[in-house]
Amino acid sequence: MTLRAVLATHNRGKVHELGRLLPAIAIAPVDVPVDETGQTFAENALLKAHAAKGAAPAGTWGLGDDSGLEVDALGGDPGVRSARWAGPDDAARNVALLQRLRGARERGAAFVCALAAVSPSGREVVAEGRLVGRIAPEPAGEAGFGYDPVFVPEGEERTLAELGPAYKDRHSHRARAARALGDALRDRSEPRA
């Protein structure tokens, strides 16, 4: 039996990616307002999952994804503000990031993803994943979104946007979080009222 869930997002890239990563869950997007007041990715993912559950039909799980980029030379920024940091769109944020790192010797970074699920009865499940790497000197690649064109995973020479969806489905921060969430949701039993 397929688990039904709604994902609180307006980012179609996340919907498609999570659909591939969590094939046992039928995921539909729901655009609900969420005030991301959490100090961590996990806190924001839970806020989104609760908002999604509130907008979901009966018997449906709520899902929330909060993810972003932590750059060592920037003290962990943009962090939980990654989607709202330094520009109105992905390209502007990538330009701003590269400008702030101009001349920096330290280019280490990590993509972080927290996935949260809230069951129809209110049970919370949170899973996290990380992908360590570095920031490239310039954007490259077309097969990605967000900071993918400027992020080079550890052990690779190409950006995530160059490596493409098949690589991301195996190795990305979201893939790692999705595997952990999928394992946690294997026991989908709901407590009886």
d(Cα 58, Cα 83) in Å, to the nearest integer? Answer: 30
Q: In this structure, what token pair is assigned to residue 153?
A: 């995973």
d(Cα 134, Cα 36) in Å, to the nearest integer? Answer: 27
* DSSP structural state of residue 144: -
- Which residues lie closer than 8 Å to 60 by C-beta, 6 or more apart? 4, 5, 6, 53, 120
d(Cα 163, Cα 176) in Å, to the nearest integer? Answer: 17
Q: Give the count of beta carbons closer than 10 Å to the beta carbon of residue 75.
A: 8
Catalytic residue among 31, 35, 66, 90: 66
Catalytic site includes residue 169: no
Would you please indicate which residues are annotated as catalytic (active-site) residues?
66
